[in-house]
Amino acid sequence: MIIVSNTSPINYLILIGQIDLLPKLFQQIIIPQAVHSELSAPLAPPPVQAWITDPPNWLKIQSVSQTSDAIVDLLDPGERAAILLAQELNADLLLLDDMKARRTAKDRGLAIAGILGILDRAARMKLIDLPATIQSLQNTSFWASDRLLQKLLDKHS
């Protein structure tokens, strides 16, 4: 399986101590150079900056050779590069959370999942305590509606 990720899912999985879910669920994750830059940027949370300085061998950093277009140019650099790389590699799944980026990816026929989709898969495989993990996620800057979070919790109760 070819899995490409944007910054957000990796960022939040690091912050909640669940980054090891990615290799358990997907074996390998590919990120564009722009995502690597966002993860190591001075504004990134210190634990994220520390993690990306010595990335695990399941994380592959790849440059994008496809040129962008007017619609993708409206997104941030990491989202833009992740969508273009996913298209270029004919990825099986693109991991991203931003609604505008998700819409753009869907319009291009890409399969997507965000942090909640990752946690859903992990809960199905009994890899996490979903209520505790959702609580940890809520303690970060991640935002999702209470209704959406409750729906996910109900699905696994």
Average pLDDT of the residues in 71-93 = 92
CA distances from 117 to 1, 33, 51, 64, 150 (A): 16, 24, 22, 25, 14
d(CA 33, CA 29): 13
Number of Cβ atoms within 10 Å of the Cβ of 135: 12
Average pLDDT of the residues in 66-88 = 87
31 beta partners? 61
CA distances from 23 to 57, 100, 120, 121 (A): 10, 27, 15, 13
Residue 85: its pLDDT value, please?
97
Cite the DSSP H helix spans in 44-114.
Answer: 46-53, 77-89, 99-107
Tell if the pTM clears 0.85, that is, is over it: yes
Q: Which domains does the chain show, CATH number per domain?
A: 3-155 (3.40.50.1010)
Residue 34 has pLDDT above 80, yes or no: yes
Residue 137 has pLDDT above 80, yes or no: yes
d(CA 62, CA 76): 18
Residue 66 has pLDDT above 90, yes or no: no
- What percentage of the chain has pLDDT greater than the value 70? 99
Write down the mean pLDDT value for the chain.
95
d(CA 108, CA 52): 29
